[in-house]
Structure 1
Amino acid sequence: MQPATMESANEIPLLKKLGIRLAEIGDRHATMELEVDESHGNYLGGAHGGLIATLIDTVCFFPRPLLPSGRLVTTTNLNVAYIRPAGVGDRLIARSELLHLGRRTASLTARVTDGGGGSWPTGRSRSWCWMSRGPGDGGPPPLPEKYHSRKDDHVP
C-alpha cells in the first residue's frame, strides 16, 4: 500500500460525498473538517449521529504513523459520546490524537469542536495495524490505483 497523502485522502469517494476534508496530518495527530448541511440531517433536523461517527472514525486513520506511513489499519472498536447535537451550518473540526502505537494495535482519541472551543462528540478508537504490505502477507487487498500517492507528494 502506498502512503496516504492529503490529496489521496481527500479523493476518498465517501468523504467527498459527505463533505469531509482532511486538513492536517501531524506526527501524532490529524484534523478533518466538515460543514453540516441539510443532506447530513437526521429525522429531527440535526446532524445524523452516523455522520459524526464517520468523522471520528476516519480522522483516527491519519496521524503520520498510520496511513500516511503506508501502514495498513482497520478499526476494531469505536466508541462515541454524543455531548450535544450539531445542526445545519455548524462547522465541525475533528482532531485525533495517537495515544499508543504497538506492533499490532493503535489506540487513539478524537474530539470534535466548532473551532471556537465548543465541544461536540468525543470518541475513542482502537485499530488493528498490519505490518504487511498486502493480501499475500495476511493484509487486506491493496487500494485501487487511483488512491495511491505519487512518490513526490508523500507527506514526510
Structure 2
Amino acid sequence: MLRTLNINLREIGESHAVMEVTVDERHRNYFGGAHGGLIATLIDTVSFFPRPLLPSGKTCTTTNLAVTYVRPALVGDVLTARSELMHSGRKLVSLSVTVKNQHDKLVAHGNATLMVSG
C-alpha cells in the first residue's frame, strides 16, 4: 500500500515517527484535491512506526482511528505526518498525529489507538 500511494518513511524516533507523501494525480478526489482516504491512510500508517512499536515479534492492529480535516491538500502539496506516542499500556497504545503541508500549515490531525500483542 505504501508503495502504491508513494508514502515514504522519513524518521523513526523514541516516541515519534514521520512520513511524507507528495500529492499527485493518483491521490485526487472528484473535486481535484487530495482524497481524504490518502490523509487517513497517512495518519493510520505513521502511527505504527515509533521505535517502541517496532521490536520483532510484536503485532499491532488499529482499534480506533479519528481524523479531523482542517484544510484541503492540493496536487503538488507535500504532506508530512508526525505521530507522537501518548500512552503505551500492556495491550493498548494511544497516539496523536498531525499532518502539515510544505508551508507548515495544518491539513489534518488525528488520534489512533493500536492493540499490541507479542
Aligned residues of 2:77 and 2:102 also touching (Cα < 8 A):
no
Q: Does 1:69 align with 2:51?
A: no
Q: Please, what is the CA RMSD of the aligned residues?
A: 0.8
Equivalence for 2:100:
113
Superposition deviation, residue 115 in structure 1: 3.9
Q: Which runs of 4+ in 1 moved over 2 A?
A: none
TM-score by length of 1: 0.73
Equivalence for 2:68:
81
Say how many residue pairs are matched: 117
For 1:82, the aligned partner's letter is: Y
CA distance in 2, matches of 1:92, 1:29: 16
Q: Does 1:125 align with 2:90?
A: no
Determine which structure has the larger helix proportion and give its number.
1
TM-score by length of 2: 0.96
Query: Among the aligned pairs, what percent are the same residue?
Result: 55
> 3-state DSSP class of the match of 1:69?
coil
Equivalence for 1:138:
none
Equivalence for 1:38:
25
Equivalence for 1:153:
none
Equivalence for 1:57:
44
Determine which structure has the larger strand proportion and give its number.
2
Superposition deviation, residue 116 in structure 1: 3.2
Equivalence for 1:92:
79
* Greater Cα radius of gyration, structure 1 or 2: 1
Task: For structure 2, list consecutive stretches of 5 or more residues without a partner in the other structure.
Answer: none
Task: For structure 1, list consecutive stretches of 5 or more residues without a partner in the other structure.
Answer: 1-13, 133-156
When structure 1 is superposed on structure 2, of 114-123 and 17-26 the one drifting more is: 114-123
Equivalence for 1:11:
none
Structure 1, residues 26-67: CA drift from partner, whole Å, max 9, x if none? 00000000000011000000000001000000000000001x
CA distance in 2, matches of 1:117, 1:17: 25
